[in-house]
A and B are shown apart, each in its own frame.
Chain A
Amino acid sequence: SQKIEQNSEALNIQEGKTATLTCNYTNYSPAYLQWYRQDPGRGPVFLLLIRENEKEKRKERLKVTFDTTLKQSLFHITASQPADSATYLCAPEYNNNDMRFGAGTRLTVKP
């Protein structure tokens, strides 16, 4: 069956460093993958979408890569700030009207 794994439940880093979050999926081949941010008590907020024919996508301090051979996406936040502290969810497309979400990685950026 299809499986999505995000590298760890929690990641703690120092302000100014680069945070790298991993999303691995197995037993299927999504045509695209999305990343969302979720703050406590709130709904997820869309950050980036990357398609299978795109190796890398950037938005301000965010960078996403998509390796269809490794079945993996990496999400980077450069020059991290305490305000980046949140849970980050990856969502590889399952079929046209369905995405499957990972359980998320809770990032804490310490001043």
Chain B
Amino acid sequence: NAGVTQTPKFQVLKTGQSMTLQCAQDMNHNSMYWYRQDPGMGLRLIYYSASEGTTDKGEVPNGYNVSRLNKREFSLRLESAAPSQTSVYFCASSEMAVYNSPLHFGNGTRLTVT
């Protein structure tokens, strides 16, 4: 099993450009999440989807949008990239609400905005 797959692995954008980060999981998990990780800071939740058809804001949602395309796929969109969005982005999934189950992470997308 592949687990959680993120594409692309690396991306360089110019300020103002848009892009979509893709995430797919093959574990039949209900919940999916997008985090960003910056040096010296913990992972911060951007958006999550507790179940197919629902999405909610996390700690740092500004500048991002998400789509839960189906049970397997959860995408993150940057409409107008800014240098402050330079980060490593991780997608994760869990079987059910986080209280009862661990997160399974992908290996990240390293995004640089110039």
Contacts and interface: CB of A to CB of B under 8 A. Distances in A.
Q: How large is the interface on B (under 10, 10 to 19, 20 to 34, 35 or more residues)?
A: 20 to 34
A46 interface: yes
Nearest to A31: B99
Interface in A6-44: 9, 31-32, 34, 36, 41-44
B43 A89 contact: yes
Interface residues of A, number: 25
B98 A43 contact: no
Interface of A: 4, 9, 31-32, 34, 36, 41-46, 49, 89, 91, 93, 96-104
Interface of B: 4, 31, 35, 40-45, 48, 50, 56, 58-59, 90, 92, 97-99, 102-108
A104 B38 CA distance: 12
Nearest to B31: A97
Nearest to B49: A97
Contacts of A98: 45, 48, 58-59, 98
Contacts of B107: 41-43
B98 A97 contact: yes
A109 B99 CA distance: 32
A65 to B, nearest CB: 19
B97 A103 contact: no
